[in-house]
Amino acid sequence: MKILILSDIHANIEALEAIKEEYDYLFCLGDLVDYGPSPRECIDFIKSNAYAIVRGNHDNAVAFRVDCQCSKAYRPMSEKTREFMWEILGQGEISYLGSLPLNGVIELQGSRFFLAHATPTDNLFKYLPPDSPDHVWQKELEGIDADFVLLGHTH
């Protein structure tokens, strides 16, 4: 079983079109939109190909017209590109982004996968670097019944 795990696509259809390896399942950990020029194409690709998808903070910001809480360095760019997203995306695409679950558990071939964009305790916004101390990760993973925890957000 080959699982392709994607996150933080940010409307970059060229990155999706560059996928050459075959896969059995595609999991998307959110942030389909914002920053890049091709949100509609990325949404269509994920809708057509993803087995499971969760909402990212940028998907949330475009869907509900709220702050994405990105870093100060990227905030001006995000604000401008969100305006672009609202101009070119239809209501159906915006509603789709808002309908995405914040997290999910997928069972495949006897393995359980927990999916979220940011962290298990804050699915949208918290940044938790992979090299965080073990006790921080243990706290985050309390109550998560999964063999694999898949998170995006930190790029």
- pLDDT cut 90: percent of the chain above it: 95
Domain positions in the chain are 3-151
Q: Please, which residues bridge with residue 28 across strands?
A: 6, 53
Residue 155: the pLDDT is: 80
Contact 118, 70 (CB under 8 A): no
What superfamily would CATH give domain 3-151?
Metallo-dependent phosphatases (3.60.21.10)
When pLDDT is averaged across residues 92-120 and rounded to a whole number, the result is: 98
The sign of the torsion formed by the CA atoms of 137, 142, 148, 149 equals: negative
pTM for the predicted model, two decimal places: 0.94
Contact 5, 50 (CB under 8 A): no
Cα 83 from Cα 78, distance rounded (Å)? 9
Question: Which is higher by pLDDT, 130 or 52?
Answer: 52
